[in-house]
Chain A
Amino acid sequence: MNKHDSPAENTEELLDRITSELRNQAIPPMPAHLTQRVREFHHIVRPNASMWAKHSRKFALLAVAATLVVAVTAAWSLLTRQRSAPGDRVAIESTNAPPRNDAVSAIATLDVMQVLSFTELSDELDQFDLEIQQLKREAQQLDARHEQKSILQLIAKLEDHLTLASVGN
């Protein structure tokens, strides 16, 4: 067998014939039901896509409320610590915590303190918790994994806020 007819050239040519056969093989027509199936994808995906839009206001309110609750309870605990243990003042100031007067004025500007007692705050926390559990259940039923993950991450953050708030309270 000379160089021209070496096995490598033969297998190369055979591979070319095979790729040509693969390229030109008869393909059955596309099934009609696939067209309908693709149309349905819009409906499958749309409810998931609207999850953010549907609950965006709720998410925003929960985030603001949770942050507010954390801020108020943190300020309140700072005040009570300063009142009950004046000796802590040095330690508090050394950790760059706001001085007592600033904390008082911060709370004074929050109208929420005029209407919310700590009992009410606690009720609110319970209500947020219920809302979050409801959101979590809805998120777990989503088909779109990526979106589900994002929503569950956000819910986990909200839960962290609420836990902090509850501990502070």
Chain B
Amino acid sequence: MKPDLESIRELHGPMIWSIAMRVTNQYTDAVDCFQDVFLEVVSDSQKGEIRDWGAYLRWLTTRRAIDTVRRRHRKHSASVLKDSHAIADPSNDLQAIEFEDLVQRVREELVHLSPAQAEAFWLVCVEQCTQSEVAESMQIERNHVGVLVYRARQHLQQQLKHLAPESFFKQAEDSQ
């Protein structure tokens, strides 16, 4: 059955846009990603019936957005981080700026995960999908999703040890 693009856009467009923006954190990349997703929906419409358009589009957008970050990273990995420093509001306190920088670094760190790990991590930990939903979208076992998320978190936590300033750990200790 051919999808009705107009109703898909109306129903899921904002969700697709939000994920594209959250993952890429860049307006033009998000616009490209949004269009890529819809072109893919049109091109692949003959493949088979989609049972849950919401879950499918959430997964497809995450995948394409991570691909975009990956491509961007290959082109100019350093300049993105430099830019994030440059546009930071000097009136913000240092801790907030450093945290913003850390969030961006974790986003960029997705490119060092395997595609499956990055997708599973984002969908479960950021988009808060259930492991069963992700398993169905990625067409893998539910347990496999758990393993992918665990490995992704391990990798990111390991990187945080090097990336995060000392003060972040002190702050975490203070707040407990």
Contact = CB atoms under 8 A, between A and B. Distances in A.
B22 A25 contact: yes
Contact of A14 (B31, B158, B160): B160
Nearest to A21: B103
A39 to B, nearest CB: 7
A10 B167 CA distance: 11
Interface in B135-176: 153, 156-158, 160-161, 164, 168-169, 172-173, 176
A3 interface: no
B53 interface: no
B21 A23 contact: no
Interface in B85-140: 99, 102-103, 106-107, 125-128
A11 B38 contact: no
The secondary-structure label for the interface of chain B is helix
Interface stretch (A26-34, A61-69, A83-91): A26-34
A7 B22 contact: no
B50 interface: no
B17 A34 contact: yes
The secondary-structure label for the interface of chain A is helix
Given A37-B35, A41-B38, A41-B39, A19 B5 contact: no
Interface residues of B, number: 38
Contact-residue size bin, chain A (C-beta under 8 Å from the other chain): 20 to 34
B156 A15 contact: yes
A40 to B, nearest CB: 10
Contacts of A23: 22, 126-128
B22 A13 contact: no
A14 B35 CA distance: 33
Contacts of A156: none
Contacts of B125: 15, 19
B42 interface: yes
Interface of B: 5-6, 9, 13-14, 17-18, 21-22, 27, 31, 34-35, 38-39, 42-43, 99, 102-103, 106-107, 125-128, 153, 156-158, 160-161, 164, 168-169, 172-173, 176
Given A13-B172, A23-B127, A34-B35, 11 more contacts: A5-B173, A10-B172, A14-B157, A21-B103, A27-B17, A27-B18, A28-B21, A34-B13, A38-B9, A41-B5, A144-B43
